[in-house]
Amino acid sequence: MDVAAAIDRYLASPSLSESTRRAYAGDLRDFAGWLRGRGTDLEGVDIRALSEYTAELGRGRRGLAPATIARRLAAVRSLLRFTLGPSRVPRGTISPRRPRRLPDAPKLADVEETLAGVAGDGPLGLRNRALLELVYSCGLRSAEAVGLDLGDVDFEQESVHVLGKGGKERVVPLGEEAAYAVALYLRDGRPALARGAENALFVSVRGRRLDTSVLRRLMRNPHRLRHAYATHLLEGGADLRTIQELLGHASLSTTQIYSHVDARRLRRVYDRSHPRS
């Protein structure tokens, strides 16, 4: 079986998102080169071959991070499943263990400074301020924020309808500051940017729906606002189950990482306050 042809067929599959297609393309070309070096085709890939490939990715000058290796293995497994069928995908866990990383959540003062830094009374300034206010107020992922339509913000109910990962929908409360910023943008900013019948809440200078690159230009890592949202809720007394629903996490275990962030704060308070700390 020609590996390059199999990869091209897989990458052309309509089931892949454009971002997944871009990420997997380089990963699979690398795997194809490794197979050629071993004189192996796809049908010869078993658990031993994947284990050797994993070791190759982690050693020497490559020394890839565990998360990167895990993504590459996911791409390979997906290719095998598509090309040969589910029964031909080697079973077993071979991905390297990923170190647990605590979210880098900015303090409230840092968030306020970031939001205050997005100034301007023009259409773009009003849009950018509303966008960042909404991301922090509702704990949105970047793609969720730019994917909002006009009807998703309900000022009367003070809520936002969000379409999350995997098409999972949720409704989150809309904070007062964000509501004001969005209303101001809709009144004084968006009409100058909108073109035709575009239904997107946030639009570009050409009147089209924004992409996530705009958020990254406003803030190097906009996902930190989502971390701040969750961390500040937890520090304010919200329980993990509630935060799980608000973030749109499928599993509570994903949300529980924020409990470790709060534990660090509790330790600092204890050390500062307890006479025998």
Question: Domain holding 168: CATH number?
Answer: 1.10.443.10
- The residue-averaged pLDDT of 218-228 equals 91
Is 223 a catalytic site residue?
yes
Q: How confident is the model at residue 93 (pLDDT cuts 50, 70, 90)?
A: low
**pLDDT at residue 276 is higher than 80:** no
Q: What average pLDDT does the segment 168-186 reach? A: 94
Q: How confident is the model at residue 56 (pLDDT cuts 50, 70, 90)?
A: confident
Strands 159-163 and 169-173: antiparallel
Both 245 and 125 in one domain: the answer is: yes
The mean pLDDT of the chain is 87
* Tally: H helices and E strands in the chain: 14, 3
CATH classification at residue 13: 1.10.150
Considering its fold, how many domains does the chain have in total? 2
Q: Which of 88, 120, 141 is the last residue of a domain?
A: 88
Q: Is residue 39 located within the same domain as residue 118?
A: no
- Confidence band for 269, pLDDT divided at 50, 70 and 90: low
> What per-residue confidence (pLDDT) applies to 47?
87
Running DSSP on this structure, what letter comes out for residue 117?
A: T
Out of 38, 53, 88, a domain closes at 88
Give the active site residue among 127, 129, 141, 190: 141
274 noted as active-site residue: no
Whether 154 and 254 share a structural domain? yes
pLDDT in tens, 185-211: 999 999 999 987 789 999 999 999 999
Asked if residue 262 and residue 146 are part of one domain, the reply reads yes
Q: Checking phi first, is residue 36 left (phi over 0); if not, alpha (psi -120 to 50) or beta?
A: alpha
Specify if 275 maps to a domain.
no
Whether 206 maps to a domain, the answer reads yes
Q: Which pair of tokens denotes residue 64?
A: 């890839």
- The most confident of 8-22, 58-72, 100-114, 178-192, by mean pLDDT: 178-192
Question: Which helix (DSSP H) or strand (DSSP E) does residue 161 occupy?
Answer: strand 159-163
Instruction: Kindly state whether residues 189 and 265 are assigned to the same domain.
Output: yes
Of 56-70, 115-129, 217-231, least confident by mean pLDDT is: 56-70
Q: What is the pLDDT of residue 28?
A: 94
- Tens of pLDDT, residue by residue over 133-156, are 999 999 999 999 999 999 999 999
Angle between helices 18-38 and 66-84 (to 10 degrees): 90
| 3-class DSSP assignment, residue 113 | helix
Give me the catalytic one of 9, 98, 165, 241. Answer: 165
Judgement on whether residues 65 and 123 belong to the same structural domain of the protein: no
Dihedral of alpha carbons 199, 153, 108, 129, sign = positive
My answer on whether 116 and 82 are in the same domain is no
- The answer to whether residue 276 is domain-embedded is no
pLDDT of residue 98: 57
Q: How confident is the model at residue 104 (pLDDT cuts 50, 70, 90)?
A: confident
Region 44-60 average pLDDT? 86
Q: Could you tell me if residue 215 is inside a domain?
A: yes
One domain, residues 154 and 22: no
Are 139 and 234 in contact by the 8 Å Cβ rule? The answer is: no
Percent of the chain with pLDDT over 70: 92
- Say whether pLDDT at 15 is over 90: no
Task: Please say if 180 is a catalytic residue.
Answer: no
pLDDT band at 116 (very low <50, low <70, confident <90, very high): confident
| Residue ending a domain, choose from 88, 122, 137 | 88
CA dihedral (236, 240, 241, 243) positive or negative: positive
CA dist 43 and 138 (Å) reads 47
Is 96 within the bounds of a domain?
no
User: Residue 92: pLDDT above 70?
Assistant: no
Q: Say which residue, 260 or 124, is predicted with more confidence.
A: 124
Say yes or no: 208 and 135 in one domain.
Answer: yes
| Residues 241 and 186 occupy one common structural domain | yes
DSSP annotation of 122 reads: S
Q: Which range of residues forms the domain containing residue 141?
A: 108-270
88 is catalytic: no
Q: Is residue 98 part of a domain?
A: no
- Catalytic annotation present for 226: yes
Partners of 86 in beta bridges = none
Q: Is the pLDDT of residue 172 over 90?
A: yes
Q: Which of 127, 190, 224, 226 is catalytic?
A: 226
User: What mean pLDDT do residues 45-63 have?
Assistant: 84
Position 161 scores a pLDDT of 96
80 and 113 within one domain: no
pLDDT at 57: 87
Query: Does residue 10 carry a catalytic annotation?
Result: no
- 159 lies in the same domain as 203: yes
Report how far residue 227's alpha carbon sits from residue 143's, in angstroms, rounded to the nearest whole number. Answer: 15
